């Protein structure tokens, strides 16, 4: 098959796709954090029988039940919302998701919140990417 000439018409990038990879990465990272927090032993337990104290550890699912899965799904849903909205609204929704996830990470920093900070960083990277592409495409300052 012959090579395309340099003057071939190239397909333009999909509208609204800027930052999408970063949002997908944020969803995957928050999902991984939630799964790890559910199943990896993180809770320390002590049991006493016949005067002997035994220390152990349990996962959040073992200690709190499956209701904790609903709570750990909230950060995943927050980070996934920008993928569900139309392109023209995605920039503002991504900012809102980053702010909500950051607020939750700060409020929950004493327990599991710090595990979601990398997802916040990826959402911020998506916002920056969207802003840079929008500025380059329009030639105007935002």
The full DSSP string for the chain is -PPPPTTPPPPPPPTT-TTHHHHHHHHHHHHHHHHHHHHS--EEEEEEETTEEEEEEE-HHHHH-THHHHHHHHHHHHHHHHHHS-HHHHHHHHHHHHHHHHHHHHHTTTTTGGGGHHHHHHHHHHHHHHHHHHHHHH-S--
Q: What is the pLDDT, as a whole number, of residue 55?
A: 84
What share of the chain in percent tops pLDDT 90?
59
Q: What is the pLDDT, as a whole number, of residue 9?
A: 55
> Which is higher by pLDDT, 133 or 120?
120
Express each pLDDT in 5-52 by its tens digit: 666 555 544 555 778 999 999 999 999 999 999 999 888 888 888 878
What share of the chain in percent tops pLDDT 70?
85
So where are the chain's domains?
20-138
Say yes or no to pLDDT of 141 above 60: no
């Amino acid at each position: 098959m012959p090579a395309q000439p340099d003057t071939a018409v190239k397909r333009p990038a999909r509208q609204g796709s800027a930052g999408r990879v970063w949002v997908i990465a944020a969803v995957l990272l928050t999902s991984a954090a939630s799964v790890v927090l559910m199943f990896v032993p993180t809770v320390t337990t002590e049991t006493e029988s016949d005067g002997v104290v035994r220390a152990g550890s349990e996962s959040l699912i073992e200690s709190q039940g499956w209701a904790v899965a609903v709570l750990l799904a909230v950060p995943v849903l927050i980070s996934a919302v920008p993928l569900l909205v139309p392109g023209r609204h995605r920039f503002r929704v991504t900012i809102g998701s980053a702010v909500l996830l950051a607020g939750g990470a700060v409020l929950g920093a004493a327990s599991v919140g710090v595990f979601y900070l990398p997802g916040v960083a990826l959402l911020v990277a998506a916002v920056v990417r969207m802003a840079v592409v929008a500025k380059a495409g329009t030639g105007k300052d935002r």
